[in-house]
Amino acid sequence: MLTTLTLITLKPGAGVARWAFAQMATAPRHLQRVAGLQFFQLMGSGADNGFGFWPNMRRYGLLATWARAEDAAAFFTAHPVWAAYQQRSAETWTAELAPLQAHGLWDGQQPFGEGLADKKPPVGPVAVLTRASIRLRRAVRFWQFVEPTSRALAGAEGLRLAIGLGELPLVRQATFSLWESVAAMQQYAYRDARHREVIQLTRREGWYSEELFARFRVVRSIGTVDGRNPLGDKAML
């Protein structure tokens, strides 16, 4: 199984922004018919690299799991949905990911496979995806912690990329982060005091009705985000 996470940065212009917003409703029915596409989520992002309250109308994300690498290659080479996004994009970036560990559910599904456990830590870059459905009565509390927590994440040593994405504004949120090594990721996850505080609060106060955590080995990093490939000379692994 192959997972891809694609970030799409659109060209400026109101017409492009309106088109992309409409695609959130119309593109899924076409994606449902893509050969080998087993699970997907087309997501928007917020200001401040996805973690802001207000939407960023120029940046979208597409998460997908594929039966075979060939199915992903066929989609990104010639499918009309992807071609339409490319025509309107200033830049795109795709991470090809191999799932290592996953627990929890996304819309009642486990999209990255069952029984995964990264018993042997991978060498090289890793990615982490967290996703949650936020209980409406806890949404204000959640957003109170987003800005300081994301600020701490952005300054973490060894972080190559972090972005917030969402299926629905305010209440269905995901964070994708890319790290140069397992050690760098663990340094932040286990030793950052603000991150630990938020994790404890989510459990104690029951912020989420559904949540998922997944960790991946990065197979390949293709394209650019904000003018650069996040992995630089490690893009081809």
| Mean pLDDT for the stretch of residues 61-76 | 97
Q: What is the model's pLDDT at position 120?
A: 67
Residue 75 is predicted with a pLDDT of 98
Mean pLDDT of 142-158: 79
pTM: 0.90
In a domain, 105, yes or no: yes
Does residue 28 sit within a domain?
yes
Name the pLDDT band for 117 (thresholds 50, 70, 90): low
Give the domain extent around 148: 2-228
Q: Which two tokens stand for residue 168?
A: 């629905």
For the segment 174-202, the average pLDDT, to the nearest whole number, is 83
Average pLDDT, the chain: 88
Whether 77 is covered by a domain: the verdict is yes
Residue found under tokens 């504004």: 169
Name the domain count of the chain: 1
Cα first-last separation, the chain: 17
Q: What is the pLDDT of residue 11?
A: 97
Distance, CA of 192 to CA of 140 (rounded, Å)? 23
Domain for residue 234, yes or no?
no
Q: Is residue 113 over pLDDT 90?
A: no
What is the spatial distance between Cα 35 and Cα 44, in angstroms, rounded to a whole number?
A: 24
In a domain, 17, yes or no: yes
235 lies in some domain:
no
**94: in domain:** yes
pLDDT for residue 235? 54
Report strand pairing: 55-66 vs 2-10: antiparallel
Residue 172: pLDDT band by 50, 70, 90 thresholds?
Answer: confident
Taking alpha carbons only, the member of 184, 146, 179 closest to residue 165 is 146
Does the pLDDT of residue 6 top 90, yes or no? yes
Residue 236 located in a structural domain: no
Please spell the DSSP secondary structure of 92-133, one letter per residue.
EEEEEEEEEEEEE-BTTB-TT-SS---SSPPSS-EEEEEEEE
Stretch among 114-123, 165-174, 177-186 having the lowest mean pLDDT: 114-123
Secondary structure (DSSP) of 152-204: HHHT-TTEEEEEEEEEETTTEEEEEEEES-HHHHHHHHHH-HHHHHHHHHHHH
Token couple for 57: 């109308």
Q: What is the CATH number of the domain that holds 193?
A: 3.30.70.100
- What percent of the chain shows pLDDT beyond 90? 64
Tell me the pLDDT tens digit for each residue of 78-101. Answer: 999 999 999 999 999 999 999 999
pLDDT of res. 171: 76
